[in-house]
A and B are shown apart, each in its own frame.
Chain A
Amino acid sequence: MKRFLLAILLVTPIATVHAESEDPWLVLQKAAQAAHDLSYKGVFIYQSGDNIKSVQITHTNSRQGEYARVVVLDGTPREMLSQGGDVVIFSSKNEKVVMEKRRAHNMFPAVLPDDIEYLKTSYKARVGGIERVAGRDGRVVFLDPRDNLRYAYKFWADREYGLLLKSLMLSEQKQMLEQMTFSQVNMLEDQGMDWFHPNVDHDKHYILEEASAQPIDEVSGWAIGTLPVGYRKVEQLTRLVPGKPAPVTQVIFTDGLASVSLFIEPLSKGIRPKIGQTSKGTTNFYANVSKGYQILVVGEVPAATVAQIGSAVSFNDK
């Protein structure tokens, strides 16, 4: 039967038949793997609101492991080198270059989570047509939210290699919020490691930023109730902020694509409590005060999501 179907597909010159046969989740799964497994080099355009930057990326994965170098080509010099899950960011600030060590983020084209299954609770996927991006044929996949607690996405996956060629985040009104799109991308043969080094400015001082955040296992004094559907806690840490007597606790949530941070700190003298909601670009903020604590929620999610997470915090009676 399968062979029979395949024969039909092969002789049917209508592209839509082929499109319907493709599982959108498999396309996304392949794209998630391709971003980590393949070796490629290219330039992509990052756009968020009025901000547009060209970014060069070199990514290799050989028997030595996964390495990447990302260089922002416009504006203030900034680049990032990653090895596996570790990242060092070099950013110019006036006469200095600041080096930061971080855990790896999901960076384009590796924006999809390894566990695609997890997205199914929050998003619906459907296959679109073939569109050309960066001189290559891309299979369009739409990822629409099942509720109003997250944004919609549109992805273009390379038909040959599976790699994402373009990623678009859309508002409820289908307006572009954030976009990353390759203007040029090539697969790499074995490159050696000569490319894996930062561009060094000999006239500048290099300064290492000390990590200020520490992971913690438990929190006391408060608890988080029911989270918005699809969101789960992924990380919990405390950081000392200059000028604040008590450490600030940060809890990070994700639905697999979007992420939200919750900040909780005891109110202290001299720091004015904040309340209300505001937004900037794709980011929404929510602030409230309860039982002597300041709650602040930040995320690239709709306003309803930050408000729900903020209201899910309950404090123990003292």
Chain B
Amino acid sequence: MKSQVSALIDGDIALEDAEYLYTTLKSGGESTRTWSDYHLIGDAMRGNPVFSADFTERLMARLDAEPVVLVPAAAAKRKRALLRNSRLWSVAASVSAVAFVGWVVLQQQVQTDIEDDTSPMEIAQNLPADYWLAHQSQASNNSAYYIQPANYAE
């Protein structure tokens, strides 16, 4: 059920293709909560947090405003019309049971040089791990970053 709600949010399933889902959503219960969780965390991840109490209500209103059309041709046209959110971010948001979503700028390990010495330092003595990680995370031809990024070296 959860994945279907997710698909619905992404517009991959048109409402009319999921009438039973729509009905279940209207009747409340677990799927309604899933629906609002997805949106809550999805919005948070996009940087516009909506933590208002009437969140579910407004979603249901949006749902109600969406007419149910059972004509296949029209269905195809309107397929992605509901919410044009990337499925991916909703998937990221499918961390639905998470109690807390925070914003933290990851402090990449910066080498703090205690002595204020202007004489150059051989990098052989001190591997610049922060640059390495920045390279791995941005350079396109790098499977290693997904599997074993530099700062995860065990």
Contact = CB atoms under 8 A, between A and B. Distances in A.
Contacts of B128: 274, 285, 287, 296, 298
A210 B142 contact: no
Contacts of B6: 193, 197
A225 B138 CA distance: 22
Nearest to B116: A270
B145 A105 contact: yes
Contacts of A277: 123-124
Which of B7, B134, B148 has the most A CB atoms < 10 Å from its CB?
B148
Given A194-B3, A269-B116, A274 B121 contact: yes
Contact of B3 (A97, A197, A274): A197
B91 A198 contact: yes
B139 interface: yes
B27 interface: no
B87 interface: yes
A83 B91 CA distance: 10
A134 interface: no
B143 A107 contact: yes
Interface string A49-81: 001010100000000100000101001101011
Interface string B75-103: 00000000000111101101111111111
B54 interface: no
Interface residues of A, number: 89
Nearest to A262: B135
B47 to A, nearest CB: 9
A205 B102 contact: yes
Nearest to B137: A102
A188 interface: no
B92 A88 contact: yes
Contacts of B123: 274-278, 285, 287, 296
B138 A235 contact: yes
Interface string A226-250: 0000000011010101111000101
A193 B8 CA distance: 12
A178 interface: yes
Given A83-B86, A206-B95, A206-B98, A259 B142 contact: yes
Interface stretch (B18-26, B58-66, B107-115): B107-115
A113 B142 CA distance: 12
B102 A111 contact: no
| Residue among B103, B117, B141, B142 with max Cβ neighbours from chain A (10 Å) | B141
B102 A272 contact: no
B146 interface: yes
B33 to A, nearest CB: 15
23 contacts: A46-B147, A64-B12, A80-B146, A81-B92, A89-B146, A91-B149, A105-B143, A111-B143, A178-B143, A193-B6, A193-B12, A196-B87, A197-B91, A198-B95, A200-B96, A206-B102, A258-B141, A272-B118, A273-B118, A276-B122, A277-B123, A299-B139, A300-B142
Given A197-B91, A287-B123, 5 more contacts: A88-B91, A210-B104, A256-B141, A273-B120, A274-B122
Give the top 4 A-B pairs by smallest Cβ distance, nearest first: A261-B135, A259-B139, A83-B88, A278-B124
Interface of B: 2-3, 6-7, 12, 44-45, 86-89, 91-92, 94-108, 110, 112-113, 115-124, 126-128, 130-132, 134-135, 137-149, 152, 154
Interface of A: 46, 48, 51, 53, 55, 64, 70, 72, 75-76, 78, 80-83, 86, 88-89, 91, 97-108, 111, 113, 178, 180, 192-194, 196-198, 200, 202, 205-210, 212-213, 234-235, 237, 239, 241-244, 248, 250, 252, 254, 256-261, 263, 269-278, 280, 283, 285, 287, 289, 296, 298-300
